A and B are shown apart, each in its own frame.
Chain A
Amino acid sequence: MRHVVRAFSAKLSGQLAEHGVSEAEYVSLFALRRIPNMSNADLSRWTGVSPQGTNEVLKSLIASGMVERHPAADHGRILEACLTERGEEVIAACEDAANALEAEMCSGLRPHEVAVFWDLLRRCAEGLGAPINDQGSPPVRLARSSSRSRV
Chain B
Amino acid sequence: MTPAEETHLILPPRTTYLVKQLELAIRAGMDVIAGEYGVTSLQYTALSVLARHPGLSAAQMAHRSFVSPQAGNEMVRILERKGLITRTPDAYNRHIKRISLTPAGRTVLSRCDVLIDQLEARMLDALPPADVEALRTALRACVRSLAG
Contact = CB atoms under 8 A, between A and B. Distances in A.
Interface of A: 1-12, 15, 30, 34, 98-99, 101-102, 104-109, 113-114, 116-118, 120-128, 130, 132, 134, 137-138, 140-142, 145, 148, 150
A48 to B, nearest CB: 11
B87 to A, nearest CB: 24
Interface string B112-147: 000010011011111100011011101111111111
B146 A121 contact: no
Contacts of A7: 66, 143
B142 A120 contact: no
B25 interface: yes
B47 to A, nearest CB: 13
A127 B135 contact: no
24 contacts: A4-B143, A5-B19, A5-B22, A5-B139, A6-B26, A6-B45, A9-B20, A10-B67, A11-B143, A99-B13, A102-B14, A105-B15, A105-B142, A106-B15, A109-B141, A109-B142, A118-B14, A120-B127, A120-B134, A124-B127, A125-B18, A127-B123, A128-B29, A132-B25
Contacts of B1: 145, 148
